[in-house]
């Protein structure tokens, strides 16, 4: 995330657009029930980065295959969503057509949610370093595009000044 949350640009002018992103996430299927629910059905558009690995870190291929199936499924669900017609057909096939009017608003998903997919061969010190470098470059590039100083930290410095005064008193 670094320091792209700025309210003034490089010219000292107020910024009238959102700057900075929030980096958060989770590992494996646990994150589906917390973060992915927000991304799928929340009211704010949240672009997502998916980072996966072709080879498991530990040689449990069956577990890795399950994780990767969920990895790809969430990407596909965000991209394509689910139409009213698909919900109708699914409920019909499950003998739940009488629930259509009740469940329809909860089971339709718009899709077209932006995401990036990074598929690396295996988690290694080198691949982790590449990811860190890529995100650092992303912060720098965003700062240029938004015309802000990415790496100053005046807000952090203010907090430190206040903390020092509090410790003295």
* CA-to-CA dists, residue 29 to 9, 64, 66, 120, 124, angstroms: 39, 11, 9, 19, 22
For residues 136 and 143, what is the distance between their CA atoms, to the nearest angstrom?
Answer: 11
Catalytic residue among 33, 44, 165, 168: 33
DSSP class of 8: B
Asked if residues 33 and 39 have their Cβ atoms less than 8 Å apart, the reply is no
Asked if 33 is an active-site residue, the reply is yes
Q: Which is catalytic among the residues 84, 122, 160, 161?
A: 160
Is 88 a residue of the active site?
no
Q: Are 39 and 107 in contact (CB under 8 A)?
A: no
Residue by residue, DSSP assigns 83-96 as: -HHHHHHHHHHTT-
**Residue 85 is a catalytic residue:** no
Q: Which of 54, 37, 53 is nearest to 113 (CA)?
A: 37
Q: Enumerate residues 6+ apart whose C-beta is below 8 A from 82.
A: 107, 108, 109, 111
Catalytic residue numbers read 2, 33, 160
């Amino acid at each position: 995330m670094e320091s792209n949350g700025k309210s003034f640009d490089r010219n000292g002018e107020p910024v009238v657009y959102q700057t900075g992103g929030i980096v958060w996430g989770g590992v494996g299927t646990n994150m589906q029930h917390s973060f992915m629910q927000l991304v799928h059905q929340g009211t704010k558009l949240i672009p997502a980065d998916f980072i996966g690995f072709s080879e498991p870190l530990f040689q449990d291929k069956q577990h890795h295959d399950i994780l990767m199936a969920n990895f790809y499924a969430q990407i596909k669900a965000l991209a394509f969503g689910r139409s009213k017609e698909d919900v109708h057909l699914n409920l019909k096939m499950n003998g739940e057509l009488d629930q259509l009017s009740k469940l329809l608003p909860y089971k339709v998903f718009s899709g077209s949610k932006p995401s990036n997919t990074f598929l690396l061969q295996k988690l290694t010190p080198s691949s982790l370093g590449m990811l860190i470098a890529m995100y650092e470059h992303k912060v720098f590039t965003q700062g240029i595009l938004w015309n802000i100083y990415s790496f100053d930290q005046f807000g952090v410095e203010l907090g430190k000044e206040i903390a020092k005064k509090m410790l003295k008193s």
